Amino acid sequence: MSTINTAYNSVTDSCCGQTILAIEKLNSNTEVLKPVGSWQALTSPLNKGTFTLQLDPNKGRPKTVDSFRKVYTKDIRPVCDQDTSADPVCAAPSFSGGDDVTGTYVFAQHLIQLEIKREIDIDDEEFENFCINQEQYIMDKLSAFRSGVLEELNAKVNERLVTYMAAYEDQTAPDNSISDPKSVSFLVPNGAGGFIFDPTGYAKVKDEYNKLGYSYVAPIVVGGSQLSVFQTNAQFMGGTNVNGVTSTSVPNLFVDYGVDAVMNDGGNHLFTWKPGALQLVSVNGITDQMIKNSVPNMRERMRVTSPFGDGLTWDYYYDVAPSGCERKMKFQAYFDVIQPVPYDETCAKAPVLHFDTGCTANTCPSSGISGEGGI
């Protein structure tokens, strides 16, 4: 009697099954990658907190373009009336028909617009090698994509972050911190040809958030060489900092040279936001029914854990041409950066600010207001 096991196991024998096995092995390896600080900041537990979007991939698909890419968020609308008077003690109450309940809440629709795709095309000769060891072949191909995928994701979110940079408390025109940024320095000349940490730069960043009403927030700060060199310098500074400061620990810093690249003006820049004010979200186009309709090793559809270390869930496609001589594997994802809370910029301003940065001395902080003077 034959001892060869001819049973088909869809979990391990189909191309999808082999892909999942390869992905599990791939994610256990450490890859050398360029800093992708914006992506890391957005996906960090510090930023995500308890934020979740319960998205059912099988719903919200009427016959409109890309309807599955729409997500919605809700928040309580703030009431900031600041000039009121108390009623007389014995005044009769007046009734005005009740509160505007609908107006108590504010809703926002977000369209997930960013995309990414990677494909592996296989002909007969290549597939000959592919069949020898599917796991190894897939892993090698995906490994070749890994660094480029993370850089593409990071570059696209940096472009989106620029659009969210809001205004400082005292800023009216232009109405955003990209067009008229304030400057802060974490590093200043030390008189011996080097640079030394000045906590005033970080303190001025926090001061701007205090003015917006976000007291005691430790904002996320993303930037390039300024932060990279500061973080390295901090290991050697000891007790030699400006003003006698001995602590060089600044929380929530992420290095990303892409911040300066996307600004593309020769300067050094910082993107900052209150943890949670911006969120990375993703959606999937593949439904459960599409997965059920898969034909193993012919036409397969699945939602898979990212093989590239980005934390997303990707749509996976595997198709064989009618001739049987060509095969295509495709991974693609839809993602975007959203501002879950729709700030009205009157009662509540968006805690998302851009700063210029450099190695010059920090200017004197101020909360003075121009006016006639006096009370």
Q: What is the structure's pLDDT at 167?
A: 94
Which CB contacts under 8 angstroms, 24+ apart, belong to 120-126?
A: 120/328, 120/329, 120/330, 121/326, 121/327, 121/328, 122/326, 122/327, 122/328, 122/329, 123/325, 123/326, 124/325
Q: What is the pLDDT of residues 203-236, one digit of tens each?
A: 999 999 999 999 888 999 999 998 888 888 777 6
Q: Of the given ranges (24-33, 42-51, 284-293), which has the lowest mean pLDDT?
A: 24-33
Which CB contacts under 8 angstroms, 24+ apart, belong to 323-330?
A: 325/123, 325/124, 326/121, 326/122, 326/123, 327/121, 327/122, 327/127, 328/119, 328/120, 328/121, 328/122, 329/15, 329/19, 329/119, 329/120, 329/122, 329/138, 330/117, 330/118, 330/119, 330/120
Q: Is the pLDDT of residue 84 over 70?
A: yes
Between 355 and 76, the higher pLDDT residue: 355
The total number of residues shown for the chain amounts to 375
Q: Of the given ranges (116-120, 123-127, 308-312), which has the lowest mean pLDDT?
A: 123-127
d(CA 183, CA 179): 12
Q: What is the structure's pLDDT at 30?
A: 45
- Distance (Å) of CA 205 to CA 139, 350, 351, 354: 43, 15, 11, 9
Contacts for 135 with CB less than 8 Å, ≥ 6 apart: 18, 21, 22, 25
d(CA 193, CA 188): 10
Segment 291-300 shows an average pLDDT of 92
d(CA 313, CA 304): 6
- Distance (Å) of CA 2 to CA 5, 36, 99: 8, 54, 80
End-to-end CA distance of the chain: 103
Q: Is the pLDDT of residue 81 over 80?
A: no
Between 360 and 10, the higher pLDDT residue: 360
Largest separation between any pair of C-alpha atoms in the chain = 103
Between 284 and 52, the higher pLDDT residue: 284
Q: What is the pLDDT of residues 236-274, one digit of tens each?
A: 665 445 544 444 578 899 999 999 999 999 999 999 999
Q: What is the structure's pLDDT at 33?
A: 72
Which pTM value belongs to this model?
0.82
d(CA 160, CA 276): 16
